Structure 1
Amino acid sequence: MSGSRPYQTTDRNLALELVRVTEAAAVAASRWTGRGQKNEADGAAVEAMRLAFDQVGIDGTVVIGEGEMDEAPMLYIGEKVGAGGPAMDIAVDPLEGTSLTAKNVPNALTVVALAEAGNFLHAPDIYMDKIAVGPGLPEGVVSLDASVGANLRELAKAKKVEVSDLTVCTLERERHEDMIAQAREAGARVALISDGDVAGIIAAAMPDSGVDIFIGSGGAPEGVLAAAALRCTGGQLQARLLFENDEQVARAQTMHAADPRRLLSLTDLAAGDVLFSATGVTGGPLLRGVRRWGDRAITHSIVMRSKSGTVRFIEGHHNFATKTWSPV
């Protein structure tokens, strides 16, 4: 995606095409909202996203997907998608928050990010430690190698506020209990989310979200997707892969040559020019959920481009009677 005018036009067109992809997945998943069947919701989103990609003018390779080829029937790592065009890496989470959708609770999203080939970390489906803050702060203001208290003090100093003014977002997990205790001991508030750390990390980079920092471990694929979003918003993110055994280390080494245990910067995760799109399935602070009635639906999406730093919110009105992708 160089600086020439044809590529700038292609960028803009692709940004809108990505919105159509996440919209399709969100509409399909929304049929299962609140029905207690997370696998069915995920399957519907995967199928719809796969079909929508057939209309996108790229030669895409899924580098962050639903799993390995023998684990996932569609949108698996290494799968080719698109109608032909420039070679692109694709990171997808057809339904970020399957349990959220099944329970009809906030923050379920459908997510796609796109970059030129070779610019996304090929992350195995393991845990990743993450820390993220928003734009306009000194580079390296927080670090995974610093204590929770030290990070909060440095962040408060950079924002010219008290630690008690800060809100830490993290997944509500037993593994985070010590970190949560340290954050509260330092004086910060803690916002716990049940699932969906992509939304939580993006919230840390949005000025009106009420979240100042995200800390905690979650899926490595979600870390790459969140990094793509933060590349567009100007936020900061550090990460480190967390391995449970030597087999996971060996798998990571086959996916990228550098030391798999190293501290990863934002551009280690998502480099080059990046496009990002997400559509809400269930409503939350970032996006409204899908609203359906009869043969129509309304979707709410965010689309971002790192090249321009533009963030757009798009409301889509859909008529299933005329949609070519409408898996209603």
Structure 2
Amino acid sequence: MTEMRDVRHGLSLCAYELRKATEAAARVLAASPAGSTETALAAMLAELDLLGLDANLLDGGTRRLGDPKHLPVWDVLADPAEGAACLTKGLTNAMACLAVAPSGSLFDPGPAFYMEKLVAPPQAVGHLDPAAPVEDRLTALARCLGKAVDDLNIFILEKPRHRDLVERVEAAGARVIRYPAGDVAGALLAAMPGSGVDALMGTGGIAEGLLAACAARVMGACFLARLDPQLATERRAVADAGLDTHAWMDLESLVRTDNVVFCATGIASGLLLDGVERQGDVWRSQSLLVGGGAGPRQMLTSWSQG
């Protein structure tokens, strides 16, 4: 019992401290919407260094955080500018995101860059067949949520690859919520009952997918995914690595632990979070903090000097 209390306390404290890293990245891009992702990432990593995490940063390769003489205890997923392509266009939903899980507990996508996802609220767990036709998926989802298909709101990234998906969802009677970016925000909203988004469908980046999977694991949501290479070079690399592009994975395959922490800070106000605001030398930011088990599930507003 004492050990369990310690784990819960540790996850709560970890989420609270980690949000300083997402806040730092969000401030960089809020101050300069055309600024580089690398600058925002540097701000995020500087805050992580202050926490002394011995971890691997999973960013396509493996970058060590903390003391290189220590074995990595954690794996870190970081996207300091998720959806930030919208910023220079005056659009919304951009966030800085971070997830931390025990080392080796996250799915390794190898050379894959893209992942198809189906995300829905907890009521849908075990009731959706992601390989079924779109119309059947919508019917099953509506049944889980106690709604008519006509009342469903489906978040889909506005990309050419999704034209057929959008047409089929709309032909079935559901409403499509289109955004040019913001894959993680869409998945988070789909995972939250009562958010106004009933599901996320479609293909997006694998890094964003794994970040969203960490949050979905904590929230008990339905999250199903398969590798979905988009370019010939990616398809060859994935095939050479022996990875299956037809098999759908659930959260037990993607995030193999409940001891995961996810936090996100809004850069520009969107469907989920308020964006960063500055008044004089005071920055106001809003963050979502979620931790596994009985860890935190909080929206936190912070004020910081600088």
- Normalising by structure 2, report the TM-score: 0.91
1:246 and 1:264 map into 2 onto residues whose CA distance is: 23
Matched residues in 2 for 1:150 and 1:251: separation? Answer: 29
SS of 2:184's partner is helix
Distance 1:253 1:316, change over 3 A: farther
1:230 is matched by which residue type in structure 2?
A
Partners of 2:134 and 2:245 in 1: CA distance? 24
**What is residue 52 of structure 1 aligned with on the other side?**
47
AA aligned opposite 2:44: M
Cα distance in 2 for partners of 1:181, 1:211 equals 18
TM superposition shift of 1:233: 1.2
Task: Could you tell me which runs of 5 or more consecutive residues in structure 2 were left unpaired when the two chains were aligned.
Answer: none
| Structure-2 change in CA distance of 1:247 and 1:287 (3 Å) | closer
Letter paired with 1:43: E
1:7 aligns to what?
7
Residue 55 of structure 1: SS of its match in structure 2? helix
Give matches, 1:194-273, under 5 Å.
Answer: 194-243=180-229, 244-245=231-232, 250=237, 259=244, 261-272=246-257, 273=259
Quote the Cα distance in structure 1 between the aligned partners of 2:239 and 2:304.
41
User: Match for 1:264: what amino acid?
Assistant: M
Cα pair 2:11 2:292 within 8 Å, conserved = no
One-letter amino acid of the counterpart of residue 312, structure 1: Q
Partner residue, 1:72: none
Instruction: Supply the distance in 2 between the matched residues of 1:152 and 1:247 (Cα, whole angstroms).
Output: 30
Question: What residue is the counterpart of 1:325 in the other structure?
Answer: none
8 A contact 1:57–1:85 mirrored in 2: no
Gap regions ≥5 residues in structure 1: 68-76, 321-328
> Which one is further off, 282-291 or 242-251?
242-251
Deviation at 1:246, TM superposition (A): 6.5
Could you list the per-position Cα deviations for residues 241-295 of structure 1 after superposition, in whole angstroms to 9, with x for gaps in the alignment? 12344765546876xx874653211222222111000000000111000001221
Could you say which structure has the higher helix fraction?
A: 2
Moved more, 154-163 or 82-91: 82-91
Could you tell me how far apart the structure 1 residues matched to 2:97 and 2:169 are?
A: 29
Query: In the alignment, is the contact (CA less than 8 A) between 1:14 and 1:56 conserved in 2?
Result: no
Tell me: CA distance 1:103–1:3, structure 2 relative to 1, closer, same or farther (3 Å). farther
TM-score, normalised with respect to structure 1? 0.85
RMSD (Å), alpha carbons: 2.2
Which stretch of the first structure deviates more once superposed, 278-287 or 5-14? 5-14
Q: Is the aligned partner of 1:80 residue 2:61?
A: no
> What is the identity percentage for the equivalent residue pairs of Structure 1 and Structure 2?
34
Task: Report the secondary structure of 1:195's partner residue.
Answer: coil
Contact (CA 8 Å) 1:280, 1:300: kept in 2 or not? yes
Q: Distance in 1 between matches of 2:114 and 2:234?
A: 14
User: What is the DSSP-based 3-state SS (H/G/I as helix, E as strand, rest coil) of the residue aligned with 1:307?
Assistant: coil
Mapping for residues 1-328 of structure 1, pairs under 5 Å: 3-33=3-33, 37=34, 40-63=35-58, 65=59, 67=60, 77-82=61-66, 87-123=73-109, 124=111, 126-137=113-124, 139-243=125-229, 244-245=231-232, 250=237, 259=244, 261-272=246-257, 273-308=259-294, 310-320=296-306
CA contact (8 A) 1:93 1:112 kept: yes
* C-alpha separation in 2, matches of 1:107 and 1:82: 31
